[in-house]
Amino acid sequence: MSTPVPVGLSTASVWPLRAGAAFELAADLGYDGVEVMVWADPVSQDVAAVKRWARRTGMPVLSVHSPSLLITQRVWSPDPVVRLRKSVDAALELGARTVVVHPPFRWQRRYGDAFGDLVDELEDSSGVDIAVENMFKVRPPGGSRDARVSAFRPSIDPTDVGFRHYTLDLSHAAAARMDALALADRMGGGLSHVHLADGTGIPKDEHLIPGHGGQPCAELLEKLVGDDFDGQVVLEVNTRHATGAAARARALAEALLFARLHLGQ
């Protein structure tokens, strides 16, 4: 019998609470570990603090999400190369097998030109999987309902370039109006990480609880089992509108139950 796929909780799933709350909820609800989203939360930027939370709750760090968002362009360093290197160092110190990273922004020309070689170099030297994530186009200010532009180079689809490891984000696929199952096929054996969430297809990153949108969340999880997937599934969902601690816990428990059910666990 194959080893069950670990199901983790992203610290982004408890925003605006800090990372420690994600470790506590993951432990209370029965998740297998945590993905640390490195962003404005000072705890997420402090590897020693993250280690203390992992020890306190018994929740391992499964993955580190490199500070790739627009709002995190100065976290750790204004240089994206330094940020990615520090993400790999953090993963090594925390015992995480995966670093999640977005493709370069269009204006990051030097970083974009060197990105593929940098990812290869860091994977070879560290043994950490650097899983490049699919993204989505956005509606420009004043644009028509169907107008979309990409902020990423060369594409929102990392398979257009080709990397050893990929993260498939279902909320991003929904916002991009991209067929998530076809994307998984293109990623093939390189698919090593899944951000499980849902979306309705509007041009924004919704990160709904799986089953609350139109994405093939159940079908993807069942496909992973059939394909003997040996990566990780992480719930990266939006609970910022939860009316309190109990409502947030119910939403994250529902998300975990959905994942376990369709992974045959």
Across 114-118, average pLDDT: 96
Give buried/exposed letters for 8-26 (b at 16+ CB in 10 A, else e).
bbbbbbbbebbbbbbbbbb
Over 80: is that where the pLDDT of 1 sits? no
The predicted model scores a pTM of 0.94
- Over its C-alpha atoms, the chain yields an Rg (Å, rounded) of 17
Query: What does the DSSP 8-state code read for residue 39?
Result: S
Query: 7-21, 103-117, 151-165: which has the highest mean pLDDT?
Result: 7-21
Across 200-217, average pLDDT: 94
Confidence of residue 115 (pLDDT cuts 50, 70, 90): very high
Over 70: is that where the pLDDT of 260 sits? yes
Across 38-63, average pLDDT: 97
Secondary element (H or E) of residue 42: helix 42-45
Across 165-176, average pLDDT: 97
Confidence of residue 145 (pLDDT cuts 50, 70, 90): low
Confidence of residue 153 (pLDDT cuts 50, 70, 90): confident
* Cα pseudo-dihedral 241, 245, 251, 252, rounded to 10: 120
Over 60: is that where the pLDDT of 251 sits? yes
Cα 159–Cα 187–Cα 264 angle in degrees, nearest 5 = 150
3-state secondary structure 126-142: HCCEEEEECCCCECCCC
Q: How far apart are CA 160 and CA 69, in angstroms?
A: 21
Q: How far apart are CA 130 and CA 63, in angstroms?
A: 10
What is 187-253 written as a DSSP string?
HGGGEEEEEE-B--SSSS---BPTTSSSS-HHHHHHHHHHTT--SEEEE----TT-SSHHHHHHHHH
Q: Determine phi and psi for 250, rounding to 5 degrees.
A: -60, -45
Over 60: is that where the pLDDT of 144 sits? no
Across 206-212, average pLDDT: 97
Of 29-33, 106-110, 193-197, 244-248, least confident by mean pLDDT is 106-110
The predicted pLDDT at position 148 comes to 63
What's the half-sphere exposure (Cβ side, CA atoms, 13 Å) at 63?
33
C-alpha to C-alpha distances, 249 to 54, 56, 244, nearest whole angstrom: 19, 19, 9
Over 90: is that where the pLDDT of 146 sits? no
The predicted pLDDT at position 202 comes to 87
Q: How far apart are CA 140 and CA 161, in angstroms?
A: 25
Token pair recorded at residue 253: 């428990």
The predicted pLDDT at position 69 comes to 79
The predicted pLDDT at position 245 comes to 95
Over 70: is that where the pLDDT of 32 sits? yes
C-alpha to C-alpha distances, 27 to 2, 7, 55, 235, 249, nearest whole angstrom: 24, 12, 11, 14, 11
Average pLDDT, the chain: 93
3-state SS, residue 34: strand
The predicted pLDDT at position 149 comes to 65
The predicted pLDDT at position 158 comes to 96
